[in-house]
Structure 1
Amino acid sequence: MSAVGYWAREILDGGVPYGDYQSMGLSNRQYDILREVVAAARVAKRDQDARAAGELTDRQVRRTCAERYRDGGPSVGPWQR
């Protein structure tokens, strides 16, 4: 399971992440994905059940990470110089 998937499930199960996204071992891009996934999964959990939220989480994490990382990750920035 990816770090995004791990933290999404932890948050949905009532866990409280410590620190910021970096202390969670996530990049800024991964944290954006996490927030989107958790928001959608909370709706699914409220409207359906925890199982539906878990299934949505798995699907959305795989799909969104694949879409946003299809270029292989960051290619520009001060750390690349």
Structure 2
Amino acid sequence: MRPGPPPRGGLLLVCALAFAIAALAGCGGGSRSENRPPPASPSPRTTSPEKLCAQLISHWARVVLDGGKQAGLDYQAMGLSGGQHQILLDVTAAARAEQKRQGADAARKLIDSQASARCAERYRSGSPTGGPWQ
């Protein structure tokens, strides 16, 4: 004897049983899931404008000070606004002078402290005015 296809009634019974188990397990989208609150999703992490500014300035000041391949990029290619670019120029000039006096480690510390202080000042009352590139 050759085995034939399962009887139609048996297949329907298996499908109905699988659906019932899924519904009882909470996978069915029935009223049980509607009564539950949605799962809590983590809040997105954001970086404050002054911290982001300080990170950008510190990064690019190091690149410029080290004379890296990207040191010749213009400020827009670096992702900086005009105001941030001015901070970068000031911080980099101070870091060059510090590097001559005290060495590379002192220059890096100065970069971090001045970038933080200047960016905090720039964003002390929220975002600067004058357009997105100011």
Q: TM-score by structure 2 length? A: 0.53
Q: Secondary structure at the match of 1:43?
A: helix
Match for residue 51 of structure 1 among 105, 111, 114 = 105
**Alignment check: 8 A CA contact 1:17 1:24 kept:** no
Aligned equivalents of 1:48, 1:12: Cα separation in 2: 14
Count of residue pairs the alignment pairs up: 78
Please provide the CA RMSD for this pair. Answer: 1.7
Match of 2:128 in 1: 74
The TM-score with structure 1 as length reference comes to: 0.85
For residue 83 of structure 2, what is the aligned residue in structure 1?
A: 29
User: How many angstroms apart in 2 are the aligned matches of 1:38 and 1:18?
Assistant: 13
Q: 1:22-80, CA deviations, whole angstroms, 9 ceiling, x for partnerless residues?
A: 11100001000000000000000001100000000000000010011112123344x7x
Identity %: 49
Where do 5+ consecutive residues of structure 1 fail to align? none
Show the counterpart of 1:60: 114
Match of 1:4?
Answer: 57
Once residues 59 and 76 of structure 1 are traced to their aligned partners in structure 2, the CA distance between those partners, rounded to angstroms, is 26
User: Which letter maps to 1:62?
Assistant: S
Aligned equivalents of 2:76, 2:126: Cα separation in 1:
20
Change (3 A) 1:76 1:37: closer
Equivalents in 2 of 1:19, 1:58: separation in Å? 21
Q: Return structure 1 stretches of 4+ with deviation > 6 angstroms.
A: none
Larger mean CA deviation between 8-17 and 28-37 belongs to 8-17
2: CA distance, partners of 1:19 / 1:13: 14
1:19 positional shift: 3.5
